[in-house]
Structure 1
Amino acid sequence: MTTYIVRRKLFAAIAGVIFVVLITLGKGQAKISTPKLASYFSSFYSIIDLGTVPKLPPAYGGLTFDPKDANRLLIGGLAGTQKAEIYEVRVKRAPNNHITGFNVASPIAKAPGIGKGGIDASLAYSPQGDVLFYTSYDDNSIGQIKRSSRIPTKQINLTSLGIASSTGALAFVPKGFVGENRLKITSYTTNTLYDTTITPDKAGTYNIVAPSKSIKLSGGLDAMIFVKAGKPGFFKDSLLIAEFDTNNVSAYQLDSKGDPIPSSRQNFIAGISYHSPTSLTGTIGATTDPLTGDFLFSTILENTPTKGRIFAVRSSAKTKVPTQLR
């Protein structure tokens, strides 16, 4: 078993007994690095610590906005456990619409895995906006929740589709990108990104087609954000990927088929979380604010093991464009 997998399994137990043990022994107090944008991207963006979400239990999981309500944020709590749930949070916004904080979280649905595990790095609505998808670690599954349900209405074992255990994350390709509406799934354990599609079943949920191709990347793949060319600092359609094992968020350019180009990898954020031999931290979820285009990342910080945090990355005002293009 690799060190990476050991770390991930420690994280999966973060909401259980090990949490209490670490706090009691005074562990988890290691110095933590401050998130820092890569030099190139620091010309375009700034990082804002939005803090914790009131009444949202650790560990924070995937997050997404309701496509019908841009002020309703959905996020996982007790991630990686059978007690995992999805919570709704009303965000607080400044007059310019940037998020400044969060109201109290309320549970809306259970999000367990199949037999073990629970919600991990991703929450995402289907392209039609009718079903909420979530990934579950470490049982390598995807759950689906209808809008009218408070429990999973369908769960799919990804191993049966040829996806290496364990996911990881998922993302639907947004409109305007090559391959829009296709489903991307990551295997955290094997650093593989899979490309597939969904098809409606007869129950109001979806089947997942066995992947048609896969790409090997690196870093401990978790949540993904698609970035359209023309956004500051991005001159080609790109993909941001949160890396649990490196504590970074990396940026990849997309090729003509809409897939990340492995050789194009570059740091976007470094040190957004921290690892040590007893670490229970990592960058997990990621989404885009539909009103401002800000990137949001959920994470666990080791020096406050009972709390998670959310960081926003937003465009800097009056940015001077560097002469060297990416």
Structure 2
Amino acid sequence: MQPRNMSMSGVVDLAAVKAAGEAKQKAEEARARARTAGEQGGAGAAPDASVSSLVTEVDEADFEREVLQRSTEVPVVIDFWAEWCEPCKQLGPLLERLVREYAGRLVLAKIDVDRNQMLFQQFGVQGIPAVFAVVAGQALPLFQGAAPEQQVREVLDQLVQVAEQRFGLTGVSVGGGEGEQPAVPEVPEDPALAAAHSALDAGDLGGAVQAYRNVLAGDPGNMEAKLGLAQAELLQRVQGLDAARVRKEAADAPADVRAQIRAADLDLVGGHVEDAFGRLVEAVRRTAGEDRDAARVHLLELFEVVGSDDPRVVAARGALARVLF
């Protein structure tokens, strides 16, 4: 089975600008508590990780501790596997070796799906091997199926980069292992993309839009730049809007597509993802011709902001299809 393209949508979901900031703050608070506990010699101190602890078998009983809590310190890669799965036997050792090479920038949690059906279902796994990540408590799909080493490396490089830039997660120090500690792979940072992120974080929306466009001019397939551009343009559209007035206009004129689009943008920025999607699906249902097409196209643009693998996008695509066909 060929691996799906990696999606970072769960990390920068739009609750995006909002949720990512909140998750980063929670991760920083968790690290601060761990440091304080360590200074006081408390039982809650977070010790350095040994090389052997970078790869662990996880079940439903210890999932919260080994994955959710740990993800506030370091990105946790999850390998869903089973003993009878031949592709799993190819991918598993590769993931273990690569994670150890990252020397604490990532850790690997291996979950046997036969013994952990609840986790298998909660993550919506469609087939194995399936690889997910949890970053600052947020889950996101990486790929499904056995993959070539170079492609897996590229996915892990991107995960490390996003975890550090968006959430401030630099990993855990590694000690206590046998032999020489492996070198941490260098993740090259695109200066143009870093400048775009900085402009977005600083609230310079015009600068961010232009910077992301500059990145895409040279690299049209850069998914991180596409997502950043979509976020920046969305924030630009809602900047200066009177939220109360926009919502009243949308409520008073349900067939006014422009009013519904403005309200949907506000919904999305406020973290009300389902409301934004539902509003535009309804606008598509109510209208025809150019208005219907405008609502449909804008809804598709919002799907890109949130990410195609997000279950809310999947559900809304189904709702849109039912309305259209």
TM-score by shorter chain over 0.5:
no
Larger Rg: 2
Q: By percentage of residues, which structure has more helix?
A: 2
How high is the TM-score relative to the length of structure 1? 0.31
**Structure with the higher strand share, 1 or 2:** 1
Return the TM-score normalized by structure 2.
0.31
